[in-house]
Structure 1
Amino acid sequence: MEELSLMAISLIVILFGLKVVIILWWKPRKIEDHFSKQGIRGPPYHFFIGNVKELVAMMLKASAQPMPFSHNILPRVLSFYHHWKKIYGGTFLVWFGHTVRLTISDPELIREIFSSKSEFYEKNEVHPLVKQLEGDGLLSLNGEKWHRHRKIITPNFHMENLKLLVPVVAKSVTNMLEKWSTMSCKGGTVEIEVSEWFQLLTEDVITRTVFGSSYEDGKTIFKLQAQQMVLAAESFQNVFIPGYRFMPTRRNMSSWKLDKEIRASLTKLIDRRRESVNNDNDNNVISSNGTSPKDLLGLMIQASNSSQREDDHEIINSSCGVTYNDIVEECKSFFFAGKQTTSNLLTWTTVLLAMHPQWQVLARDEVLRVCGSRDIPTKDDIAKLKMLSMIVNESLRLYPPTVATIRTSKVDVELGGYKIPRGTELLIPILAVHHDTAIWGNDANEFNPGRFSEGVSRASKHPLGFIPFGLGARACIGQNLAILQAKLTMAIILQRFSFKLAPTYQHAPTVLMLLYPQYGAPITFQKLEQQQHPDQDRRS
């Protein structure tokens, strides 16, 4: 009997070892051979770790010190892509552990993935720590549930609804600038670390405009997510091991604690809002005459209420409805993505205008001409700020918040003549596309907003050369809010201040989930005397 038990154990060990060999050695070799026959190569796969060791080494070396004042940031930000593209071409394999990713930077192939053949691809399953941070909402959902949530949330981001938010956003901006003014030294100058201030600003705007609540309600959540973001970023430097997230390691326990606290804070916010919605006392829910803006939390709660019915004092959820947990997860998504995308856009736009004062002057002239004597731009003013739109687009091109995105093939599919097996992850390096001289010309690494003077579609040699918010059905739902907030904020700043890089500024774009300045973004602001443009629009 004892011999049979030993044999059984030995058999289990052998089978387990065989499975490990198949997953970690035989399958990767088979994948390499499949793509090699199609002319696609890449750095060789190493057992278990793939190319992670080389990736981390290149990343650490690239970010070890600041770079010159240049917009040629690809070698620093996506060092692995920059290095291996020179060896293997723009389409190559790279291994994250035993998971293969096929890099795709050809706009025509990107069109197939996001648009013409998008039904064959889906958002990839992100690292568990990242999913915990960004929530199981629109950012990560797939299939019917994604479609249902997108339909519910979309009215929140219709342009007509966003225009109703202009006074709320403007109030947050002016409050921030009044604080800057009180900090000014003699002569009206003040040094501001704008990346931190813009994060606080977007936190305030998000909680007010998207969740119909005050900044104090969201402050705790943002603080906790910032800590969680650091843990999630660290996970990218390690090989993903299935099941490891359930181990009681120090990092996992910290992440569990943070997630529990975030959920508790969101639950309080949602419960309070749900009570006000049910009592019809919340002014932020759309009014019958359409003069009040819709907000995300109100829409989700209304959808949840409409998908439930009371039966013998029990609440029964409809299979096609919205659950309480769905609301929590969507709130996590928008607290994270809304803050990071907009604050990064504001930071890099300010840095670029500080680096290129000639464009700052042109932008200010336009604001003064369009807004006239009005202290706060109106929704109609924002639409007329064409120069500022060009500047924001050029900022998004050179410094896109998301430097790369990933899709997974749901079936065996042909992509531009390549045969892609089911389950292959496709990495689209957005930053590389935005800096490609074949698409943007020899000045691809230069700040030239004028390239957008005839619109986005005619700015580059390919209509899909500009994809800062993704493409197709899964394009970022909040992009209009981010651009509106960026234009309004910059317009009000330009009305009141001129600015330049502070002497302490160090140029060091770095990825921590999104693109951010590694050493901050200190900017020196000079208060302007009240100006009046000779050709200003004098309409009140």
Structure 2
Amino acid sequence: MMMMEDKLLNWLKLVFISLMVLLFVSKIAVLLWWRPRKIEDHFSKQGIRGPPYHFFIGNVKEIVSLMLKASSQPMPFSHNILPRVLAFYHHWRKIYGATFLIWFGPTVRLAVSDPDLIREVFTSKFEFYEKNEAHPLIRQLEGDGLLSLKGEKWAHHRKILTPTFHMENLKLLVPVVAKSVTDMLDKWVTMSESGNVEIEVSEWFQILSEDVITRTAFGSSYEDGKAIFRLQARQMDLAAQAFQTVQIPGYRFIPTKRNIKSWKLDKDIKKSLMKLIGKRKENIGNVLPEKGPKDLLGLMIQASDSSPNITDYDIVEECKSFFFAGKQTTSNLLTWTTVLLAMHPQWQVLARDEVLRVCGARDNIPTKDDVVKLKTLNMIVNESLRLYPPIIATIRRAKTDAELGGYKIPSGTEILIPILAVHHDQAIWGSDANEFNPARFSEDQEFKPYDDDDDKLLSDDEEENVTQDVYEERRPNHEMDKERDSIATHLMLR
């Protein structure tokens, strides 16, 4: 009798284990095969196709192959960077049209470049879409701030931080920015006194951006804040090294030499920020001065005094986000604008003349009233942002079943918005979409740059010849460090 009971018990255990294995295999099959096929069929009935899904890996192998092939070829003399930077999108758009499916593993992404559809995602139907979750290493760097927050907490933090970016407050920050820029230019002048000197502007602009952001974030606590951001820059380099290797699930929890360094830096950053917050509260209290610019740290501390929902942890995370989001985007904009002006000297002359006319001699620091009068410079910056946007793509995820421009979007579908492709779309910008033409942002569409030597307008052929000559003579080394590129690659599809 005892033996029969043991056999029955063993048989039941075997059946239970078999059922569990069968259930697990079934879930894997649904996730990695049945569901992707069902989604492909769902979109195919709506006229949306894409490269076929491959079990488990999706289209990742093809994406990597297309990107590697594009980066292995020399860049042509052109601002048409889409085929190189978003090679997979450029390739498949020619085959499947402007709206198509891509598979990142078993995760489906709907590529959308129609401005009307993008407007729905960000404005009229934004409540149906949420931000994509960041990679854990990126999340550690960017902090749990506005970049990653969602829902009511995001809205609450945004309301608190809005005064930092209010136009009146930004105008008060003009002297702060001017001082940082003047200090940098003085160093350049000193360097040039020994004769011709080559300056790597991307490195200088990274330092400048860090300096301005630190002053904006920490105000009177500038020196302490700068030391903290130095730690975060080191942490960013470690994360970049990690992205250059194969990502093994759970590897970031293993106490490797690099991971231990990263953990220590994260701990030091949080500890230093908490100490700074305590010192700031002790020195100035929770009341901001009525006059003068409002810094991010002061606004957060003031909010924490009146709202129990704002903790010291929230302040720490917002400071991390502010630095991480602002430094690379700002320095990249400054770098590419400088490169474009070097390639198109006729616009450089116009911008310089305008600055001298509006702001006066070099010793005169621009005021808040001067900045709004720099129309030509504003056109140039807009065109730089169009041709070389700091963020080349972004992602939103459908929180529930939704409708987008007549398409039925299942819950969980990720919407890939290729910002760079939209900025280079000839249907939107015209046949010269891949050319540097700041005049497109002028109210006077006939506006054209002048020659350096006289008042006659340059012909298109003359402008191209001048641009080619200057580019070959002064072509700067504007490739970013490989370490920072690897982080940008992961950021670009968020």
- Scaled by the length of structure 2, what TM-score is found? 0.85
Indicate whether 1:261 and 2:268 are aligned.
yes
Give yes or no for contact 1:204–1:214 (8 Å, CA) kept in 2. Answer: no
Which residue does 1:148 correspond to in 2? 156
Kindly report which structure 2 residues correspond to 1:36-435, keeping only aligned pairs within 5 A, or say none: 36-64=44-72, 66-187=74-195, 189-213=196-220, 216-230=223-237, 232=239, 246=253, 253=260, 255-278=262-285, 285-287=288-290, 291-307=291-307, 318=308, 321-373=309-361, 375-435=364-424
**476, 480, 484: which one pairs with 1:505?**
476
Give yes or no for contact 2:395–2:417 (8 Å, CA) kept in 1. Answer: yes
Distance change >3 Å, CA 232–CA 114, structure 1 → 2: farther
Indicate whether 1:34 and 2:5 are aligned.
no
Distance change >3 Å, CA 323–CA 198, structure 1 → 2: same
Q: Between the two proteins, what is the percent identity of the paired residues?
A: 74
Distance change >3 Å, CA 119–CA 27, structure 1 → 2: same
Whichever residue aligns with residue 302 of structure 1, its letter is: Q
Which residue does 1:21 correspond to in 2? 29
Distance change >3 Å, CA 96–CA 381, structure 1 → 2: same
Q: Distance in 2 between matches of 1:404 and 1:232?
A: 20
Q: What SS class does the counterpart of residue 103 from structure 2 fall into?
A: strand
Distance change >3 Å, CA 160–CA 222, structure 1 → 2: same
Q: CA RMSD in A?
A: 2.7
How far has the Cα of 1:182 moved from its partner? 1.5
Give yes or no for contact 1:400–1:515 (8 Å, CA) kept in 2. Answer: no
How far has the Cα of 1:6 moved from its partner? 3.8
Spell out, residue by residue over 1:184-239, the C-alpha distance to the aligned partner (whole angstroms, 9 max, x if none).
1544x321111111111111111112221455434444344344445655777899
Comparing 97-106 with 242-251, greater Cα deviation is found at 242-251
Whichever residue aligns with residue 73 of structure 1, its letter is: I
Whichever residue aligns with residue 429 of structure 1, its letter is: P
> Higher strand share goes to which structure?
1
Give yes or no for contact 1:138–1:333 (8 Å, CA) kept in 2. Answer: yes
Q: Which runs of 5+ in 2 are unaligned?
A: 1-8, 447-469
Give yes or no for contact 2:339–2:476 (8 Å, CA) kept in 1. Answer: no
Q: Distance in 2 between matches of 1:362 and 1:221?
A: 40
Spell out, residue by residue over 1:58-108, the C-alpha distance to the aligned partner (whole angstroms, 9 max, x if none).
222222354133110001111110111111111111111111110100001
Whichever residue aligns with residue 353 of structure 2, its letter is: D
Q: Which runs of 5+ in 1 are unaligned?
A: 308-317, 460-498, 517-540
How far has the Cα of 1:501 moved from its partner? 7.6
Indicate whether 1:443 and 2:446 are aligned.
no
Comparing 375-384 with 399-408, greater Cα deviation is found at 375-384
Q: Distance in 2 between matches of 1:501 and 1:221?
A: 40
Q: What SS class does the counterpart of residue 199 from structure 2 fall into?
A: strand
Q: What SS class does the counterpart of residue 363 from structure 1 fall into?
A: helix
Q: Distance in 1 between matches of 2:399 and 2:411?
A: 5
Alignment size in residue pairs: 455
Q: Distance in 2 between matches of 1:183 and 1:507?
A: 20
Kindly report which structure 2 residues correspond to 1:452-467, keeping only aligned pairs within 5 A, or say none: 452-454=441-443
Distance change >3 Å, CA 279–CA 19, structure 1 → 2: closer
Q: What SS class does the counterpart of residue 101 from structure 1 fall into?
A: strand
How far has the Cα of 1:144 moved from its partner? 0.4
Give yes or no for contact 1:401–1:515 (8 Å, CA) kept in 2. Answer: no
- Scaled by the length of structure 1, what TM-score is found? 0.78
How far has the Cα of 1:423 moved from its partner? 1.3
Q: What SS class does the counterpart of residue 212 from structure 1 fall into?
A: helix
Comparing 215-224 with 507-516, greater Cα deviation is found at 507-516
Q: Distance in 1 between matches of 2:281 and 2:100?
A: 50
Distance change >3 Å, CA 354–CA 426, structure 1 → 2: same
Which residue does 2:449 correspond to in 1? none
Which residue does 1:520 correspond to in 2? none
Distance change >3 Å, CA 256–CA 334, structure 1 → 2: same
Q: Distance in 2 between matches of 1:35 and 1:454?
A: 42
Distance change >3 Å, CA 201–CA 105, structure 1 → 2: same
> Higher helix share goes to which structure?
2
Q: Distance in 1 between matches of 2:442 and 2:231?
A: 41
Q: What SS class does the counterpart of residue 190 from structure 1 fall into?
A: coil
